[in-house]
Chain A
């Protein structure tokens, strides 16, 4: 359900699989004498719901490495559990024993399927134990140079529908594309069934006008002047000059929909545990995570790999999640009409 397919995520930057082994060894320490800390001497499994080498995987590995340093005596081992757009890994985290020894990361794009009721029994974002987030990444509407549309004003003046490539229905990019058009008020013709790379190529060939993607994945074609960033949802230093969708949403429903997109963009590189982790243990994890995200070694790793770091603690993330899931009935009904599963039930993996 992610719009961050393994291939598109990976273009962000890479931190490799061997690092997990190195981390597992390097971070292995004897339990400090007299330590009453639950995590001392234990192994924490950090599940990544995507392939090794992707953007989620890269963040996971630098976070895991640093987290082990801030939970003295513990080891943090990263394990990839890709499949079904991240649902397999996410479900594994959701169903793990709530002892704090299984945590992980997945796309927050599951927000939309949860809102429309497509995740019945497989995942419940609200119930999960939120530990924090490392960064966020805006969603960008990019349009090919050949369209002649370089700004949001050009877009809103356009009378013909713009043709946008998206991932299949039910995935977060599919929902995000429809939400943005509805919120800002421009006409679109959606062509589903492309992954992000294929969508970019289709845009460059002129088969479609554009797509919604992350700035890091769009960077090469933007730098070459082959496409323009027309609208953004979310903030980052390198997209500050791009028009914000929130400024063009003129109705209450439009603003609510942009807020929904913004929530997805904000909670980008999250770390989460299953529902029911004892509060004291969750507090330890949250404190360690916050410390890890300020660790000079992590910041140096992130700078070397050109990964933006924009942390938020677990309590604040949990609050944002609750707020995002508190969407209006009208918005949810509108989203539900887009769901490919309408009435279909899938068993938990």
Chain B
């Protein structure tokens, strides 16, 4: 397949029955991996690789990228319908699940699919436009910028606390404190591990977030015996009109969708930030910039749009360091990198210089897969949403099993079930007492990222790291974020 320009690559891709077939096979596979809670793209890549190793480099890469690109598109489904989201998809639970409880599952899924497609396209666009700027883009984000970006995200705790600022800050601080469990990144000494080696790597984001959201909601549903959509105001049968309403919500909130898509893609570029960061930072941004933040947590559609756009756009961003430096932008990308090497693709600038066709083919694959994924899932959404009408007593055991499975698969260790059990008690108590839980998720996701980056920054520059240009810009953002929120609180009083 010889192609020399973006459009030639697109034409070559669409005129190749093999590549089209691989995309058509990869997309439903990726969607299924996302729809089944806890499986995820990383596992999917590992499973898929033996089947693509006999293909040529372009064909194998197309299948893997198509599959991986839409995992989070599928991942929003259990987040919205069942309240169980693993990893980055958990941010969608906060507002997506209350929408389903309100009988608006169709609208939430419509918004999620449209935002995911848009995010995927923006991520691909960033990948395409960054080809000449790739080094600058990746090298302008060092530990100081990562630390301050995490700090910006941490300031969003106040925004997602709703009306209970003090309670939100207490819960958020608890999340931050728990994120420090594990080996000190600078000294190597275990902290708060009580002599247990399984805690050396920390509590694990997946069980912690599952304990905060999935378990309390599942117990509540099981205890009430009512279906999830118990408070449905309308007939719960999903009509295409509801899906369309959700898609129109994305158009209504187009600037939020675009901003979070770009922000997610940029976060994806930075190795070491982790998949959850993009979703939670963008969720916090959506709350903070909303006219009526009190709606969040109660089923605000913007709370679905922001994390879902970011989740899909970050995959395009994460491909940048993976393809052009050979440095994976995420754990999923590290497996993809290994697969590309095995397929004969040597990462580096030669991907652009010598394999320009491959680079453009992957860009188009991202675009096509994201759109196709949204369309495919929309076609089956009406059947998927029937789970919201299953009596809670029957549904709860299955949901709990999937939650446990997600913890086991996501963390590859039975010890995560212990963490899940302990933190679930806290999650259930917070839910019953009406305390906000999103600040906890932000704390536990960003605390460790911020701490590692702060240690690295201080080791390299001391306090001078705060005077780097990028750091100054982000510091202004941190202070602006605090001031903005404080002003909002004062004006209400």
State in angstroms the CA–CA spacing of A122 and B184 once bound together. Answer: 20
Partner of A340, one of B187, B327, B347: B187
Chain A residues in 8 Å Cβ range of B48: 16, 18
Chain A residues in 8 Å Cβ range of B328: 7, 10-11, 197
Chain A residues in 8 Å Cβ range of B349: 224
State in angstroms the CA–CA spacing of A171 and B53 once bound together. Answer: 34
State in angstroms the CA–CA spacing of A274 and B272 once bound together. Answer: 35
**Contact code string B246-284 (vs A, CB < 8 Å = 1, else 0):** 000000000000000000000000011000000000000
Asked whether A191 and B187 contact (CB < 8 A) given A6-B331, A220-B347, the answer is: no
Chain B residues in 8 Å Cβ range of A91: 197
**Contact code string B338-351 (vs A, CB < 8 Å = 1, else 0):** 11011000111100
Chain A residues in 8 Å Cβ range of B184: 168
Asked if A191 and B197 make an inter-chain contact with CB atoms under 8 angstroms apart, the answer reads: no
Q: Is A53 an interface residue (CB 8 A)?
A: yes
Asked if B188 and A83 make an inter-chain contact with CB atoms under 8 angstroms apart, the answer reads: no
Tell me the residues in window 1-59 of chain A with beta carbons closer than 8 Å to chain B beta carbons: 6-7, 10-19, 22, 51-53, 58
Q: Is A347 an interface residue (CB 8 A)?
A: yes
**Contact code string B165-208 (vs A, CB < 8 Å = 1, else 0):** 00000000000000000011111111001011110110000000
**Contact code string A74-96 (vs B, CB < 8 Å = 1, else 0):** 00000011111101100100000
Q: Is B6 an interface residue (CB 8 A)?
A: no
| Interface residue range, chain A | 35 or more
Q: Is B475 an interface residue (CB 8 A)?
A: no
Asked if B460 and A207 make an inter-chain contact with CB atoms under 8 angstroms apart, the answer reads: yes
- Nearest CB in chain A: distance from B306 CB, A: 27
State in angstroms the CA–CA spacing of A304 and B346 once bound together. Answer: 15
Q: Is B47 an interface residue (CB 8 A)?
A: yes
Interface hit among B17-25, B135-143, B295-303: B135-143
Chain B residues in 8 Å Cβ range of A337: none
- Nearest CB in chain B: distance from A50 CB, A: 9
Asked if B139 and A19 make an inter-chain contact with CB atoms under 8 angstroms apart, the answer reads: no
State in angstroms the CA–CA spacing of A12 and B342 once bound together. Answer: 9
Asked if A84 and B197 make an inter-chain contact with CB atoms under 8 angstroms apart, the answer reads: yes
Asked whether A208 and B412 contact (CB < 8 A) given A53-B42, A346-B190, the answer is: no
The interface size of chain B toward A, counting residues with CB under 8 Å, comes to 55
Asked whether A198 and B271 contact (CB < 8 A) given A87-B200, A170-B188, A346-B190, the answer is: yes
State in angstroms the CA–CA spacing of A348 and B183 once bound together. Answer: 16
Asked whether A202 and B47 contact (CB < 8 A) given A7-B331, A220-B325, A220-B326, the answer is: no
Partner of B335, one of A14, A18, A306: A14
- Nearest CB in chain B: distance from A24 CB, A: 14
Q: Is A201 an interface residue (CB 8 A)?
A: yes
- Nearest CB in chain A: distance from B268 CB, A: 14
Partner of A220, one of B53, B335, B342, B348: B348
Chain A residues in 8 Å Cβ range of B321: 201
State in angstroms the CA–CA spacing of A195 and B325 once bound together. Answer: 16
Chain B residues in 8 Å Cβ range of A7: 328, 331, 334
Tell me the residues in window 165-179 of chain A with beta carbons closer than 8 Å to chain B beta carbons: 168-171, 174
State in angstroms the CA–CA spacing of A201 and B329 once bound together. Answer: 11
Asked whether A168 and B338 contact (CB < 8 A) given A18-B47, A52-B412, A53-B46, the answer is: no
A307 and chain B: residue at smallest CB distance: B342
Asked whether A191 and B200 contact (CB < 8 A) given A169-B188, A341-B189, the answer is: no
State in angstroms the CA–CA spacing of A319 and B227 once bound together. Answer: 65
Q: Is A308 an interface residue (CB 8 A)?
A: no
**Contact code string B138-151 (vs A, CB < 8 Å = 1, else 0):** 11001100000000
Q: Is B455 an interface residue (CB 8 A)?
A: yes
A226 and chain B: residue at smallest CB distance: B325
Asked if B334 and A10 make an inter-chain contact with CB atoms under 8 angstroms apart, the answer reads: yes
Asked if B197 and A348 make an inter-chain contact with CB atoms under 8 angstroms apart, the answer reads: yes
Chain A residues in 8 Å Cβ range of B325: 200-201, 204, 220-221
- Nearest CB in chain A: distance from B165 CB, A: 33
Tell me the residues in window 320-373 of chain B with beta carbons closer than 8 Å to chain A beta carbons: 321, 325-328, 331, 334-335, 337-339, 341-342, 346-349
Asked if B188 and A208 make an inter-chain contact with CB atoms under 8 angstroms apart, the answer reads: no
**Contact code string A190-216 (vs B, CB < 8 Å = 1, else 0):** 011111011011101101100000000
Partner of B196, one of A16, A52, A198, A349: A349
A5 and chain B: residue at smallest CB distance: B334
Chain B residues in 8 Å Cβ range of A18: 46-48, 50
Asked if A14 and B338 make an inter-chain contact with CB atoms under 8 angstroms apart, the answer reads: yes
Q: Is B231 an interface residue (CB 8 A)?
A: no
Asked whether A16 and B139 contact (CB < 8 A) given A84-B197, A305-B342, the answer is: no
Asked whether A82 and B50 contact (CB < 8 A) given A197-B272, A347-B196, the answer is: no
- Nearest CB in chain A: distance from B394 CB, A: 30
Asked if B456 and A194 make an inter-chain contact with CB atoms under 8 angstroms apart, the answer reads: yes
B54 and chain A: residue at smallest CB distance: A304
- Nearest CB in chain B: distance from A203 CB, A: 10
State in angstroms the CA–CA spacing of A6 and B349 once bound together. Answer: 24
Asked if A12 and B346 make an inter-chain contact with CB atoms under 8 angstroms apart, the answer reads: no
Chain B residues in 8 Å Cβ range of A13: 338, 341-342
* 7 cross-chain pairs, A with B, having the tightest CB-CB distances, nearest first: A220-B326, A14-B338, A169-B188, A340-B188, A347-B195, A170-B188, A168-B188
Can you spell out 20 A-B residue pairs with CB atoms less than 8 angstroms apart?
A10-B328, A11-B338, A13-B342, A16-B45, A17-B47, A51-B331, A58-B338, A83-B198, A83-B200, A84-B201, A88-B197, A91-B197, A174-B188, A197-B272, A198-B272, A207-B142, A208-B460, A223-B348, A341-B188, A347-B197
Chain A contacts to B: CB under 8 angstroms: 6-7, 10-19, 22, 51-53, 58, 80-85, 87-88, 91, 122, 163, 168-171, 174, 191-195, 197-198, 200-202, 204-205, 207-208, 219-221, 223-224, 304-306, 340-341, 344-349
Known pairs A15-B49, A87-B200, A204-B325 / 15 extra A-B pairs, C-beta < 8 Å: A6-B334, A10-B334, A10-B337, A11-B341, A16-B47, A16-B50, A17-B46, A18-B48, A53-B42, A82-B413, A170-B188, A197-B272, A220-B327, A340-B188, A346-B197
